[in-house]
Amino acid sequence: MKTENQMVNPNRRMTQYQVDGKGYFNKHPYNNRESRWCDLNEVPYARNGYLYGSETIEDQITGITYYQIDGYYNNTNLYRGFHDGTVDPSTLFKEGDTLLIRHQQADVRFKITEFSPRAKNMIGTRYLNIAWHWDEEGWNKYKKENPIETNESNWKVWHQRNAFWTTGSVLAGAQPDKIARPWSWTAVTKETLLKLQLLGYQ
C-alpha cells in the first residue's frame, strides 16, 4: 500500500494531454472547463437536461436513456444504405419513438409522428432547448418605476436584474412537422440500437 508521500497530490493540475491519457471520455460535442473536469473525474457531464456518459445519454426530463450511435458520416454501411435507398427509417423506428438529433450545434429531443411514403422521411416534433434572453425593455421600465440608489455593481442590483433573464421549458420549444434526416441522428433507445446492430449498422 502506498504511503501518504507516495500518493498523487489531489491538488495537482493536469494538462489536456494528461486528461486525454486517462482514457475516460463522455461522448458529446462540447469542450469546456466543466466537461473536461467531468472526464478527469470519470463522471457524466450535465447539460440541457442530459447526463452525457461514455456510452449513454440520460434524459433527465423524460427519464429515457439513449445510446449513442456512430455518426452518419463515420458509418459507411449506413451511409450507403440511405444513399441507395435500401435503408428505410420505418424499419428502425416506429411512430411514437423518440431519439436525439443534432440541431443548431446541440442535441435536441425528437418524437416521430409519421413517415413520408415516397421519400421515406422521418417526420415528427422537435423539442428545442430554449436559450436565455435578456429583457432590456422590462429592465429599463423597472428602473424608471423603482429608482436604484446604489451602484450598479451592487449585489442587490445584480439580484434584481436576474428577474429579467427569461427562458422557456422544453415543451415551449416544440416545433411540429419537422424532418429528422439520418445525418442528424446522435442517440437512440436500446430497442433501436439493437435493430441497428442486428442489421450491421453499428
Residue 1 lies in a domain: no
Exposure class string for 147-167: b at 16+ Cβ within 10 A, else e = eeeeeeeeeeeeeebeebeee
- Number of domains forming the structure of the chain: 2
Residue 45 lies in a domain: yes
Amino acid present at 12: R
Residues 61, 29: one domain? yes
Residues 190, 105: one domain? yes
Q: What is the pLDDT of residue 153?
A: 61
Residues 108, 61: one domain? yes
Residues 35, 70: one domain? yes
Q: What is the pLDDT of residue 50?
A: 92
Residues 63, 147: one domain? no
Q: What is the pLDDT of residue 154?
A: 67
Q: What is the pLDDT along the chain (202 residues), one digit of tens a residue?
A: 444 444 444 544 555 555 555 667 888 888 888 988 898 888 999 988 899 998 899 999 999 999 998 766 677 777 777 778 778 888 899 999 999 999 888 899 999 999 988 878 899 999 988 767 788 888 888 888 887 765 656 667 777 777 887 777 788 778 999 999 888 899 999 999 999 888 888 7
Residues 101, 193: one domain? yes
Contacts 24+ apart (CB under 8 A), 104-110: 105/29, 106/29, 106/48, 107/28, 107/29, 107/48, 107/50, 107/57, 107/186, 107/187, 109/59, 109/61, 109/62, 109/170, 110/178, 110/180
Q: Which three cell numbers stand for residue 130?
A: 430554449
Residues 101, 28: one domain? yes
Residue 11 lies in a domain: no
Q: Which domain holds residue 142?
A: 133-166
Residue 20 lies in a domain: yes
Residue 4 lies in a domain: no
Residue 43 lies in a domain: yes
Q: What is the pLDDT of residue 4?
A: 44
Residues 66, 103: one domain? yes
Query: What is the pTM assigned to this prediction?
Result: 0.73
Q: What is the pLDDT of residue 113?
A: 96
Q: Which residues contact 43 (CB under 8 A, 6 or more apart)?
A: none
Candidates 31, 60, 59; CA nearest to 188 is: 59
Residues 63, 153: one domain? no
Residues 33, 59: one domain? yes
Q: What is the pLDDT of residue 190?
A: 95
Residues 87, 183: one domain? yes
